[in-house]
Copies of this chain bind each other. A is one copy, B any other.
């Protein structure tokens, strides 16, 4: 029984995949990675690490305390941890396109199979489109009852979701384009383009 959300665990696995890190640094990278999406406190990170350690997903690496600072506990992925990471990435289910979860999955798309990427993007998009329908229906039903501010709030919310749908559509097109060009290199290149490089269509 995992004591953590899955989101946090996935993010930790992903970050440790690149390089071993200690908790404090891990948290900073976590919050940089998720940016405005989410923020975790030590109170959730450390217990999570403890749990993952107990389950054998990560291992402690006490660095030689010769020159450097002591008291830093560096964690690295075990083979089981790598396996678990791949398993979690392969899961393209309803849990992959919820608000919080989607961002983390997306952040690790560089290590995700092209077909899984597409399924997650499309799942996320249709999820948002369902929500759009709901909000639009609610807007139509309550149009007369609400005041200007409530209306403005809902209008802005609607626009935000519509904007994200367009973003997803561009990404999906981009993925399909890359797929056609049979550029299916599944290399472990931590930098630049692997698979469908998303910056291709958004041009900046």
Interface residues of A (CB under 8 A from B): 18, 29, 31-33, 35-37, 103, 106-110, 131, 135, 138, 141-142, 144-145, 147-161, 163, 167, 171, 189-194, 196-202, 204
Contacts and interface: CB of A to CB of B under 8 A. Distances in A.
Contacts of A145: 18, 190-191
Q: Is the interface of A mostly helix, strand, loop or mixed?
A: helix
A204 B151 CA distance: 12
A202 B157 contact: no
A141 B31 CA distance: 13
A167 B159 CA distance: 11
Contact of A103 (B35, B153, B167, B196): B153
Nearest to A128: B36
A157 B35 contact: yes
